[in-house]
Amino acid sequence: MPERRFLRAAFALAALASLALAGCRESGGEGEYFELSGRLFVFNYRVATVQYLVTLRPLKPVGEGEVAVASFENPAGGEALVVRQKIWPLNDKVTINSPPLECVVKDRPYKVSIRIEDAKGRLMQALETTMVSSQDQSVLPDKPLVVGPLYEPNPELKGHPDGHLPGGRGVTCPPAA
């Protein structure tokens, strides 16, 4: 009988410790309001675009007026692409898309920085990561394959069923490193 009481007490103690640890994990560390929960390049073959997509998961309740400011390295060179997005308090995730990109190269790391700001523009948290595409942008057609609300074939691609034009996309990309 005493062995049974000991086992019950040990099990109860282990269950309480497990709950306590789970509670700590959900609250996040000091100063951490969000965690990076996803990141990928989105290739849309139909409209011939590629974009960064980053997903954040709140670790603490979101306050009114909070904003995510994402700075994406521009694969074509030049200034970073900056996206400013309101964070909605009731959403269980924050999804940030970049504008369409040019010159994405397979297996090359691209830098992404995200600032979480409060309603007054003060920095709450900074996140840094890199993103690597598993595809090169050359897999996309040079122009959208379809146009208009009825998805009609793009007349600019007449005679080029693969979507690749003799002049390419019309973009000069920096040399691959």
Domain that holds residue 41: 34-157
Q: Does residue 168 belong to any structural domain of this protein?
A: no
Nearest to 46 by CA among 169, 163, 164: 163
Q: Does residue 29 belong to any structural domain of this protein?
A: no
List C-alpha distances in Å: 1 to 11, 26, 112. Answer: 15, 38, 60
Q: Does residue 17 belong to any structural domain of this protein?
A: no
What are the pLDDT digits (tens) for 55-96?
A: 999 999 999 999 999 999 999 999 999 999 999 999 999 999
Using CA atoms of 71, 75, 130, 46 in order, give the dihedral in degrees to the nearest 10.
100
Whether residue 69 contacts residue 84, with contact meaning beta carbons closer than 8 Å, is answered with yes
Instruction: Write the CATH number for 119.
Output: 2.60.40.10
What are the pLDDT digits (tens) for 124-145?
A: 999 999 999 999 999 999 999 9
Domain count, the chain: 1
**Token pair for residue 7?**
């086992």
Q: Does residue 15 belong to any structural domain of this protein?
A: no
